[in-house]
Amino acid sequence: MWVRRKKGRSPEVLESVFRRVQRLGPYGFWLDSGLSAPDEHRRFWAMGVKPIATLGGSDCAHAMPQFSRCEGFQGQPASSGFDLPSPATLPNGSGNDLSAREWRPQTRLEQLSEFAAKSTSGTDFLPPEVPVPIVVGFLSYEFGSLCDSIPRAVNNPLDAPELFWARYPAVIVGDRITHRVYIFGTQRDSMDALEWAYDSDYHVGAGAFRLADDLSPVQVDTQHQRRVERVLEYIRAGDTYQVNIARRFSAGVKDEKDPVTLFAAIQTLSSAPYAAYMECENATVVSVSPECLVRWYENGVVRCFPIKGTIRRGASDAEDALLKARLLADPKERAEHVMIVDLLRNDLGRVAEYGTVAVPDLCSVHTFAGLHHLISEIRGQLRDGITLGSLLTAVFPGGSVTGAPKVRACEIIAEIECERRGVYCGALGYVDARGGGCLNIPIRTAWLTNQTIHILSGGGIVSDSTPEGENAETWLKIRNWQRVLHSLTHG
């Protein structure tokens, strides 16, 4: 792997840089940690395009895995891209041919481990602390349910793939603390193309993003409140302690849409630490998630940062301080949060060295645009031989977006929500070229198809939740999306 070092440019030009990156081909991605004061969660941004291989599938319950090999960069940097070859199953004799044995979701996680491992060579000289996200992608929420043999909803209105991962020949990474930019790659022509996109002042105009109708809940308020009441019945019966229930908001989108315009607008407002723009086969993911599912390192350290507990921002610094204190002192929010921390301690204990799982930070208030959240850190040391697939089997789907006990909560979610979540509450992020990586939980996330935008919003229900309060929380969490979409549509 090679690296080229560049001087940082003004943050305001990143949208223009990505629009030039998009001109290089399909499957572009932009991971961004926001414009707030840099810290370990808000430090880097990364972009890439035109992968050399993809790993994906439309329905893990029935479809054989698909493994596409993509051409390298050809032609001029400003070319419009190329047509991908048809996906094919993995070749016989590779150790990954699934036609000769029973196919199961865990096998796909094993494939992902192998897919990511192909990028971890020749990396000893890379700058420390700077991520090299050569493999980027997502797992749908339903894929995690399949791993634990949990029933899932049959209705699939989003038509989202169970997973989509891509390995890139080159990526651009920017560091907001050192103001340095790096181009990492295994193909020099790919690096040349990205260097052109970063250095050039060639203008690519921004398109519009307008709704054809208002963003509205598919499950209206009274329906969602009945769902919450049904969960409360399960809790009172002793079936479960906490369940996270979501509902979908949807709207039509006018034909000539520019999803990058939407991503730039929502990220400017949200400044989310785990924001992502990602193109897959038939849709685009636009996410401004504040939550990290899991971060793992080359030395075996693993960390989780669950969010559970929410309150709105104040209109002034004084009101903000009062609301933060109220969130910390709220017994419902704290009990809900500690329950999920205990669940994640147990999850990490399945793959960590005995005695290494710890909680160095419990119930800290973190501030985001529009909301305060309670966040904790759980960490451990992975046992020798733990693969990415093994780690994901232990922690996925995240406890903060399912409930406790996790398996029973997932069963109740499938029964009550009655439709698949898709990428919402799954996992999205990257695998580093050195073997580490980071996955967020894609909440505050839009799934864009040719004509529709879908955004899910939900919350954790415990014994002292109320249907009215949980319904209001779904509106609170989608408020920034409403503001941005209204502004883009009506000016």
Question: How would residue 369 be classed by pLDDT, with cut points 50, 70 and 90?
Answer: confident
Among residues 367, 364, 348, 366, the alpha carbon closest in space to that of 356 is found at 348
Question: How would residue 108 be classed by pLDDT, with cut points 50, 70 and 90?
Answer: confident
Among residues 295, 41, 1, 286, the alpha carbon closest in space to that of 171 is found at 1
CA distance 112 to 392: 10
Among residues 127, 423, 48, the alpha carbon closest in space to that of 248 is found at 423
- Give ∠ CA 448-450-456 in degrees, rounded to 5: 25
Among residues 384, 388, 315, 316, the alpha carbon closest in space to that of 356 is found at 384
**Conformation bin of residue 98: beta by default, left when phi > 0, alpha when psi is -120 to 50:** alpha
Give Cα 11 distance to the centre of its chain: 22
Pull the structure tokens for residue 201.
């002042």
Place of tokens 């693993």: 302
Helix pair 221-236, 467-490: axis angle to 10 deg: 150
- Give ∠ CA 283-96-347 in degrees, rounded to 5: 70
The pLDDT of residue 398 is above 70: yes
Pull the structure tokens for residue 328.
């910390």
What is the pLDDT, as a whole number, of residue 198? 97
Question: How would residue 57 be classed by pLDDT, with cut points 50, 70 and 90?
Answer: low
pLDDT in tens, 427-474: 999 999 988 999 999 999 999 998 999 999 999 999 999 999 999 999
Question: How would residue 11 be classed by pLDDT, with cut points 50, 70 and 90?
Answer: confident
Say if strands 427-432 and 437-440 run parallel, antiparallel, or are unpaired.
antiparallel
Q: For the chain, what is the mean pLDDT? A: 87
What is the pLDDT, as a whole number, of residue 196? 98
**Conformation bin of residue 425: beta by default, left when phi > 0, alpha when psi is -120 to 50:** left
Residue 411: CB atoms within 10 Å: 20
Q: Please, how many CA atoms are within 13 Å of residue 420, restricted to the half-sphere of its CB? A: 25
Among residues 71, 52, 44, 69, the alpha carbon closest in space to that of 273 is found at 44
pLDDT in tens, 255-313: 889 999 999 999 999 889 999 999 998 899 999 999 999 999 999 999 999 999 999 99
In sequence order, the 6+-apart residues with CB closer than 8 A to the CB of 443 are: 289, 290, 291, 401, 424, 425, 456, 477
Pull the structure tokens for residue 371.
């909301």
308 is catalytic: yes
Asked if residues 50 and 25 have their Cβ atoms less than 8 Å apart, the reply is yes
Pull the structure tokens for residue 2.
């090679």
CA distance 109 to 162: 11
Among 50, 257, 308, 477, which one carries the catalytic annotation?
Answer: 308
What is the pLDDT, as a whole number, of residue 37? 60
Q: Which amino acid type is present at position 443?
A: I
What is the pLDDT, as a whole number, of residue 152? 80
CA distance 312 to 294: 26
Give CATH for domain 2-490.
3.60.120.10
Query: In angstroms, what CA-CA distances link 228 with 164, 337, 410, 413, 459?
Result: 32, 18, 15, 11, 10
7 is catalytic: no
What is the pLDDT, as a whole number, of residue 123? 75
CA distance 419 to 411: 12
What is the pLDDT, as a whole number, of residue 347? 95
Q: Name 367's bridge partners.
A: 372
Question: How would residue 128 be classed by pLDDT, with cut points 50, 70 and 90?
Answer: confident
Give me the mean pLDDT over the 90-94 stretch.
28
| Least confident segment among 24-33, 87-96, 417-426 | 87-96
Question: How would residue 74 be classed by pLDDT, with cut points 50, 70 and 90?
Answer: very low
Q: pTM higher than 0.75 for the full model?
A: yes
Among 291, 333, 336, 473, which one carries the catalytic annotation?
Answer: 291
